[in-house]
Amino acid sequence: MSQRRTRAARPQSAASRSVPATLPLGALAAGMGLSLLAAPVMAQNEPATSPTTQSTPANPTLPTVGVKAKNVAKPAAKETYQAVTTTIGKGKQELRDIPQSVTVVTEKLMDDRNLTDLKDVLRTTAGVTFLAGETGEEDVRLRGFSLAQAGDLYIDGMRDPSLYERDTFNYDRVEVLRGSASMLFGRGSTGGVVNQVNKQPFLMNQTEIETTAGTGNMYRVTADVNVKTGDTAALRINAMKHEADNHGATVSKQGIAPTFRWGIGTADEFTASLYHLEYDNNPIYAHRWFLVNGKIKPVMANNAFYGLDSDYNKGGADYATLTYLKRLGGGAELKTSLRHGHFERDLLATVPAYASGTTLANFSDATVLTRNQSKGRVSATTGTLLQSDYTNKLTLAGMEHSVIAGVDLSWDKGRRANTYAQTRSGTTLNTTVGHPDDGATFVDNRAPAAFNYFSSRNLGAYAQDMVAITPTVKLIGGMRYDAFSAHYRNATENYDRTDYLWSSRIGALYQPTDWASFHVSRGTSFNVSADAYQFELNSANRAKQSVVDPEKSRNTEIGTKLTLLDQRLSVGASLFYSEKYNERNNDPDSNTIILSGKRHAAGLDIDIAGQVTDKWESYLSWTWIPDARIDEAKGVTGNTPRAGDRPGLTPKHSGSLWNTYQLTPQIRAGLGINHRGSQTPPANRTIRADDFTTFDVMAEYIINWRTSLRFNISNVTNRLYVDQVYNGFYVPGAARSAQLTLKVTL
């Protein structure tokens, strides 16, 4: 791919480590060779043979036999938008048995919408908003409540403990559980949790290669190779290479994820997997706004880069997982997993600002932008997790019990420099709005980072029982205990904090038919004050935090899950009331703690996924929050939201609709609508970002069963809108883009 120009040499990462230059696609050669040599290429149904030879009449009359074939080997997430089971509730469960709102984005939906990172996936799920963090990361909000930045994201049910750029190349699906869930997961989970489900080997030989080219000099190749290596064993390798240069906003990332699974379907099943991802990007960071009648007026282009060529956001993730699934008979299973990982992130970004005297009236391509401020963060995290979960169905006292229980231990160690910016006083690196990316660089002469060190240890144990008191009525009750301890130190100070906490969930299910389930539930959650990104303030605030109790929340929900149209279409709806108390908002950059006390959000979630007809497939995720309010606020000043205000980043309406229709046996078309209502920043009650609606389209041409072409256009009307917002700046939504993808199945 031709480059716009030779980029300036990047400085070495302050958190760098020796990482081999992985070439994912090259590493696939052996696996692809095995796949092509293996026979058969696609699994075939062998004809049934009788164990004995029998005589047959000369003119037999044979009964009519109905045959309904179903592929049980291939993952369902490749074939449909609909999900009927989940692993987010600990162990594999039917969605109808989860007494909370759940949204599942399957691999097919991610492919059809061309979603290449986790943030894109979350933008298609309702109730999700994004804070534009001062050091580049997106603080994700769900129902207006913050997902703990390193606490509410999971990989295969195990905590994903750090900040980094997550790609979808190894995703089978993404599961979003809304509402308090500490009974299952421990700390965090006020608004909910996000579970990234990795692809697993299956008992077929199959290779899929996707090559995508698009606007912004975008080029992406992914490969998914699955090789059946024995009657109960398979190897799967997923790999990705992605490059783009959109007017200076660059993306460069690659990853590989091999997984070997043996004993599939037997009493003793093992899985061993590795994951490697590395990236070196130069992203669009902060845009300044103008205010018109209290509303943010975005005017800077959404496809232009206003920083310096020496800016960067680089990092990666490496982890290994070993899982043992023991099938104990009678449906009982014991699943034990051990994971160890290392995660790094190093960001240096320029903060563009308008020159003195700039107003909306005199704004033009000639407007001068100053680039003399920077933001920086560097971090490295190492985490080890050991988790064991037991599931079983048994009959006691004449009633069926569905039991889940488990224990988990985690150890995290991290070093972070949250304010690792450059000093640029007296330096002039100005440009103009019309010529923003001028190739300018800044020599990185920062001293070595002054790290803060953080370590934590958590022991959690939980148990839940779902009792069928009648064939149609089930009662649910669960408890969890956590012992969380943390240690923090820097060059001059040491702090420790230990919390012992209980979490609970109770509920009831009414399931009158095999296609209808109704639920009511109440759950709790907590956020400890000593968690990784909340224990790094100035001395006075850290001393306060050493005695601050954890934040807590309660979530009450009543809803239904239906499978309609011959069980081809799943429909879910839930009314919820989420309440958080002893709430605090921490701002590491200003070294302050804002105690907003107590707030709540109440509304409705709707999820639809599956086939409306044989040709029409649909996905809808929509959240309506008509009632959201800060009930108590303590110690707030200035423009910070007060009691009675609507919390920031909590729009009334948000959602995403996606439909595809099979026009002919070879042509399929798709249309998507994405909407988010008006919202305020988290700590400024006087300004507001407008609502927005964007449109996406897709067309697919199936050349043959092996080959297809897919064309996607995102943000068709090139809407300029505020996607992520902070108190003093915003990040725009992505500009219109187009991609053409060639998919080949071998």
- In tens, the pLDDT along 235-263 reads 999 999 999 998 888 999 999 999 999 99
- Number of domains making up the chain: 1
All residues at 6 or more sequence positions from 57 whose CB lies less than 8 Å from its CB, including other chains = none
Q: Which residues contact 651 (CB under 8 A, 6 or more apart)?
A: 129, 625, 676, 677, 678, 679, 691
Q: How far is 65 from 42, CA to CA, in rounded Å?
A: 26
Which one has a higher pLDDT value, 569 or 18?
569
**Where does the pLDDT of residue 640 fall: very low under 50, low under 70, confident under 90, or very high at 90 and above?**
confident
Q: Which two tokens stand for residue 330?
A: 């009678």
Residue 345 in tokens: 């992130």
How many angstroms separate the Cα of 320 from the Cα of each of 260, 273, 276, 340?
Answer: 12, 6, 9, 6
Q: pLDDT at residue 24 above 50?
A: no
- Please state whether beta strands 332-354 and 551-564 pair in parallel, antiparallel, or not at all (unpaired): unpaired
Average pLDDT score over residue span 400-418:
94
Output the DSSP codes for 124-187. Answer: TSTTEEEEE-TTS-EEEEETTEEPPTTTSEEETTEE--S----BSTTEEEEEEEES--HHHH-S
57 is a domain residue = no
**Which residues on neighbouring strands pair with residue 424, listed in sequence order?**
none
343 assigned to some structural domain: yes
Please count the CA atoms within 13 angstroms of the CA of 198 that sit on its side-chain side. 28
- Of the pLDDT bands very low, low, confident and very high (cuts 50, 70, 90), residue 530 is low
696-734 residue pLDDT tens: 999 999 999 999 999 999 999 999 999 999 888 899 999
Burial letters 161-197, b for 16+ CB under 10 A, else e: bbbbbbbbbbbbbbbbbbbbbbbbbbbbbbbbbbbbb
Whole-number Å distance between alpha carbons of 731 and 723: 6
Burial class (CB in 10 A: 0-12, 13-18, 19+), 317: buried
Residues 6+ apart with CB under 8 A from 425: 372
Contact 627, 652 (CB under 8 A): no
Q: What is the DSSP letter of 76?
A: G
15: nearest Cα among 491, 418, 356, 570: 418
pLDDT number for residue 606: 98
Which pLDDT tens digit goes with each residue over 119-172?
999 999 999 999 887 766 667 899 998 876 557 899 999 999 888 999 999 999
Whole-number pLDDT of residue 608: 98
- According to DSSP, residue 24 is labeled H
Flag whether 66 is in a domain: no
What is the rounded average pLDDT of the residues 98-104?
96
Which range among 82-91, 390-399, 587-596, 627-636 shows the weakest confidence by mean pLDDT?
A: 587-596
Give every CB contact of residue 132 below 8 A, 6+ residues apart in sequence.
138, 286, 724, 725, 726, 729, 730, 731
8 Å CB contact between 418 and 588? yes
Rounded CA gap, 561 and 95, in Å?
8
pLDDT for position 135:
65
- Per-residue pLDDT, 118: 94
Residue span of the structural domain in which 659 resides: 24-34+75-745
Query: Sign of the C-alpha dihedral, residues 17, 18, 24, 27?
Result: negative
Q: Using CA atoms, how far apart are residues 356 and 75, in angstroms rounded to an integer?
A: 58
Name the residue type at position 66.
G
* 3-state DSSP assignment of residue 531: coil
What's the CATH number where 267 sits? 2.40.170.20
Alpha-carbon gap, residue 659 to 235, rounded angstroms? 34
Burial class (CB in 10 A: 0-12, 13-18, 19+), 268: exposed
At position 533, the amino acid (one-letter code) is: Y
Q: Report yes or no on 655 lying in a domain.
A: yes
In this predicted structure, what is the pLDDT of residue 548? 65
Number of other CB atoms surrounding residue 465 within 10 Å: 15
pLDDT at 585: 56
> Phi, psi (5° rounding) for residue 446?
-65, 145
Q: What percent of the chain has pLDDT over 90?
A: 64
Cα dist from 153 to 119, 160, 164, 169, 185, whole Å: 12, 5, 11, 17, 10
Cβ atoms of 487 and 509 within 8 Å: the answer is: no
Q: Which residue is listed with tokens 């072409």?
A: 709
pLDDT value at residue 154: 94
283-339 per-position pLDDT tens digit: 888 898 899 999 999 999 888 889 888 999 999 999 999 999 999 988 899 999 999
Q: Give pLDDT, residue 146.
A: 82
pLDDT at 578: 95
Burial class (CB in 10 A: 0-12, 13-18, 19+), 312: buried
Q: Mean pLDDT of all residues in the chain?
A: 86
Q: Quick check: 390 pLDDT over 60?
A: yes
> Which of 746, 641, 626 has the alpha carbon at shortest distance from 685?
641
| pLDDT of res. 132 | 86
H or E, element range at 486: strand 473-489
- For residue 540, the surrounding DSSP H or E stretch is helix 539-545
Q: Is residue 409 one of the residues assigned to a domain?
A: yes
Angle (CA) 486 491 496, round 5°: 20
Q: How far is CA 712 from the centre of its chain?
A: 22
Task: List all residues 6 or more positions away from 41 whose beta carbon is below 8 Å from its beta carbon.
Answer: 35, 205, 206, 746
| pLDDT for residue 539 is more than 70 | no
- Do residues 316 and 332 make contact, with C-beta atoms less than 8 angstroms apart? no
- Asked if residue 508 belongs to a domain, the reply is yes
712: DSSP letter: E
Is residue 89 within 8 Å of residue 98, measured between CB atoms?
yes
The two tokens of residue 8 are 């300036």
**In the predicted structure, residue 53 carries a pLDDT above the cut 50:** no
Pick from 204, 169, 105: nearest CA to 745 = 204
pLDDT-based confidence at residue 547 (cuts at 50, 70, 90)? low
159 within domain boundaries: yes
The confidence score (pLDDT) of residue 535 equals 52
Query: Between 92 and 679, where is the model more confident?
Result: 679
Query: What's the confidence (pLDDT) of residue 211?
Result: 98
42 in a structural domain = no
